[in-house]
């Protein structure tokens, strides 16, 4: 549901008449949104943006004459204050271009349905697009008369401001040996903000569930790998977890961590198990496996996203002694996934997006006095897992 009384003006850009109609109809049916026009290619889009002055543009990635990337480069969303949501095809080229679009200032993206009836495709588009439009309006991102405000204050009269981090529970003395992250709507940009802040020698593996379709997770991993000190890759079935590597669950598959044959190593297992919370990959599915194998030695992180995927898995992690970090409401695109564990009272830390990395690092650093106990705990837990 839209969170503003102000009517916003929307423009649909797509080279396919069918999708111009579907996306246009969806926008026209949303409260507080006025559809002011459409364009069939990028060149026409720039002309209509200048004439119609929309607040919101849905922008097809792959178009003749001038594609979505070229439109973004000309439009400069960060400066114009126009909210841009990309509409992408489920192809490797579409995934790569979408990651580039997000780096250029697009707010988020939706994917075009493959097959299905007009009614079904419209339903899928509505379910994906409506919450993004709502969040743009609610967070004050659509401002026709000036650039978008930053989501968080950056400076005050007395110098730089650091939004508060709330430490709700006391810290566990044992250092974590794995970090598990669950994230959804707004995730690519959030990860692009957070993960480059992680040191290349963080010393533990990081496993990530980002709700995404197939192909796009590979594009996301490659994009992040180019920006981060840690190695980022799409996870592969059967590979052994390594420190300083981020493993992103493949879109459309489930990912969990299992014990290696020696009882000590930890292995990635990619499966076709059913969706959980209508999600595949599912954060709950991953978190449960981490809770079982890393008793008292894990960090769970829940970030921006719709729904409550991750809540049950985080409860399991909490019961097994994990430290849990949640993204704060102000910096989330959609405050759903972090909201559920916050309301359940299981989070140890609530932090704004740009401070999550430092909170993660705090949980994996070993104090000298705990080095020997850490080794003993590893051996004990490995024995339990075996």
Using one digit for the tens of pLDDT, what is the confidence trace for 68-77?
999 999 988 7
Residue with tokens 């364009």: 39
Mean pLDDT of 136-163: 47
What integer pLDDT is reported at residue 366 of this predicted model?
Answer: 59
Catalytic residue among 60, 309, 328, 348: 309
Burial class of residue 366 in the structure, from the number of CB atoms within 10 Å of its CB (0-12 exposed, 13-18 middle, 19+ buried): middle
Residues of the chain within CATH 3.40.50.2300 domain(s) are: 8-138
Query: Which stretches of the chain are assigned E, i.e. beta strand?
Result: 8-13, 33-39, 56-60, 83-88, 108-111, 155-156, 159-160, 166-167, 178-183, 206-210, 231-234, 245-248, 254-259, 266-271, 298-302, 323-327, 349-351
Catalytic residue among 38, 184, 219, 223: 184
309 catalytic? Reply is yes
Residues of the chain within CATH 3.40.50.180 domain(s) are: 166-385
Mean pLDDT of 210-232: 94
Q: Is pLDDT above 70 for 185?
A: yes
Q: Residue 263 carries which DSSP code?
A: S
What integer pLDDT is reported at residue 141 of this predicted model?
Answer: 53
Sorted by sequence, the CB contacts under 8 Å of residue 64 that are 6+ apart come out as 15, 41
What integer pLDDT is reported at residue 5 of this predicted model?
Answer: 59
* Distance of alpha carbon 365 from alpha carbon 384, whole angstroms: 24
Catalytic residue among 88, 96, 211, 374: 211
Q: Is pLDDT above 70 for 155?
A: no
pLDDT digits (tens, 9 = 90+) for 91-105: 777 788 889 998 888
pTM: 0.82
| CB 192 within 8 Å of CB 231 | no
Q: For residue 131, what are its two tokens?
A: 């919450």
What integer pLDDT is reported at residue 150 of this predicted model?
Answer: 36
282 catalytic? Reply is no
Q: Is pLDDT above 50 for 372?
A: no
CATH number of 8-138: 3.40.50.2300
Which CATH superfamily hosts domain 166-385? Answer: Methylesterase CheB, C-terminal domain (3.40.50.180)
Classify strands 83-88 and 108-111 as parallel, antiparallel or unpaired.
parallel
211 catalytic? Reply is yes
Q: Is pLDDT above 80 for 159?
A: no
Buried b (16+ CB within 10 A) or exposed e, 30-46: beebebbbbbbbbbbbb
What integer pLDDT is reported at residue 140 of this predicted model?
Answer: 62
What integer pLDDT is reported at residue 134 of this predicted model?
Answer: 84
Q: Is pLDDT above 60 for 59?
A: yes
* Distance of alpha carbon 362 from alpha carbon 241, whole angstroms: 21
């Amino acid at each position: 549901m839209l969170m503003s009384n102000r009517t916003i003006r929307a423009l649909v850009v797509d080279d396919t008449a069918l999708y111009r109609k579907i996306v246009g109809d969806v926008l026209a049916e949303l409260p507080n949104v006025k559809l002011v026009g459409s364009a069939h290619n990028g060149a026409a889009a720039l002309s209509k943006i200048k004439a119609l002055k929309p607040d919101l543009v849905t922008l097809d990635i792959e178009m003749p004459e001038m594609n979505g990337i070229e439109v973004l480069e000309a439009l400069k969303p960060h400066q114009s204050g126009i909210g841009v949501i990309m509409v992408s095809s489920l192809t490797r080229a579409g995934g790569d271009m979408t990651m580039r679009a997000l780096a250029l200032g697009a707010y988020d993206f939706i994917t075009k349905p493959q097959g299905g009836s007009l009614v079904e495709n419209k339903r899928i588009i509505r379910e994906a697009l409506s919450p993004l439009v709502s969040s743009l309006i609610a967070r004050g991102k659509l401002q026709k008369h000036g650039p978008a405000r930053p989501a968080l204050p950056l400076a005050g009269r007395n110098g730089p401001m650091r939004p508060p981090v709330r430490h709700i529970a006391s810290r566990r003395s044992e250092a974590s040996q794995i970090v598990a992250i669950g994230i959804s709507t707004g995730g690519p940009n959030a990860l692009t903000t957070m993960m480059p802040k992680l040191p290349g020698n963080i010393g533990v593996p990081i496993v990530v569930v980002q709700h995404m379709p197939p192909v796009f997770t590979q594009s996301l991993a490659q994009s992040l790998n180019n920006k981060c000190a840690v190695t980022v890759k799409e996870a592969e079935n059967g590979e052994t977890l390594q420190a300083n590597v981020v493993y992103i669950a493949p879109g459309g598959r489930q990912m969990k961590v299992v014990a290696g044959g020696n009882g000590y190593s930890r292995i990635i297992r990619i499966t076709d198990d059913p969706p959980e919370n209508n999600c595949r990959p599912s954060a709950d599915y991953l978190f449960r496996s981490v809770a079982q194998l890393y008793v008292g030695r894990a960090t769970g992180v829940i970030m921006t996203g719709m729904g409550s995927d991750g809540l049950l898995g985080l409860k399991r992690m909490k019961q097994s002694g994990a430290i849990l970090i949640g993204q704060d409401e102000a910096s989330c695109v959609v405050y759903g996934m972090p909201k559920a564990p916050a309301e359940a009272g299981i989070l140890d830390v609530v932090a704004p997006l740009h401070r999550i990395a430092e909170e993660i690092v705090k949980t994996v650093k070993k104090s000298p006095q705990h080095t020997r106990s850490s080794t003993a705990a590893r051996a004990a837990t490995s024995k339990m897992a075996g």
